[in-house]
Amino acid sequence: MTPFSAESLISTLEWRYAVKSFDAARRIPEATWASLERSLVLTPSSFGLQPWKFLVVTSQELKDRLRPHCWNQRQVSECSHLVVLAVMQEIDQTFVDRFIALNEERRGMPAGTLEGYRKVITGSVVHGGLGLPQPEWAARQAYIALGQFMLAAAGLGVDTCPMEGFAPEALNAELGLPDRGLKAVVLCPAGYRSPEDKYAAAPKIRWPHQEVIERL
């Protein structure tokens, strides 16, 4: 593996911004998008449990239908790919058992090897040991995926715009998520910035380094 250089990492982050207008005529190439989907699959999560579903919307007709539920923000219909990051509303014992079985199978372990780990996840997630409602805990995991996706996209020269501005009930209903036990947490249109988007050249506004970083 060849790591980012320090310079390329910072230049990538400086280049990235929340796109206000996409070039509707440009589409993300299949090979590039395949890597971005893989970046979502590879996202870390608490316990490794991955309580999510990533819905990738490329149908123009569906993007146009979703736009009114997203405060009519143009990025939803202009983008190449719209990612809806949705999370499970109930994580039960069956899901945990499937996850443990997958771990044992992939790592060549005899069944039952991870029984102790299964009990930890069950107590924490299924029976509320984390002290958080399951949907709230799951939503926090989705934001890890959002951050990883945005950085991966920027590294490949693809623009994004994280969006919390949408009507959850209407958007969830449009996508049929309630019947699947899912709820949209955040959206992320992806594509290529329009040459006419004036925000591309705007300076980033961040608190000074010394105000947000403390070395202990």
Segment 139-159 mean pLDDT:
98
Whether 90 and 181 have beta carbons less than 8 Å apart is answered as: yes
Whether 125 and 47 have beta carbons less than 8 Å apart is answered as: yes
The pLDDT, as a whole number, for residue 4 is: 87
In a domain, 207, yes or no: no
Beta-sheet pairing, 52-57 with 159-160: unpaired
Percent of the chain with pLDDT over 70: 100
In a domain, 60, yes or no: yes
In a domain, 178, yes or no: yes
What Rg, from alpha-carbon coordinates, does the chain have? Answer: 19
Segment 71-97 mean pLDDT:
98
The pLDDT, as a whole number, for residue 203 is: 95
The pLDDT, as a whole number, for residue 2 is: 85
Structural domains counted in the chain: 1
Provide the domain limits for residue 64.
30-195
In a domain, 55, yes or no: yes
For the stretch 168-171, contacts whose Cβ atoms lie closer than 8 Å and that sit 24 or more positions apart, written own/partner, are: 170/69, 171/66, 171/69, 171/70, 171/84
The pLDDT, as a whole number, for residue 192 is: 98
In a domain, 98, yes or no: yes
In a domain, 210, yes or no: no
Output the domain CATH number for residue 95: 3.40.109.10
Which H or E element spans position 182? strand 182-191
**Widest Cα–Cα separation across the chain:** 58
pLDDT in tens, 186-216: 999 999 999 999 999 999 999 999 999 999 9
Average pLDDT, the chain: 97
pLDDT in tens, 14-56: 999 999 999 999 999 999 999 999 999 999 999 999 999 999 9
In a domain, 166, yes or no: yes
User: CA 36 to CA 80: how far, in whole Å?
Assistant: 13
In a domain, 149, yes or no: yes
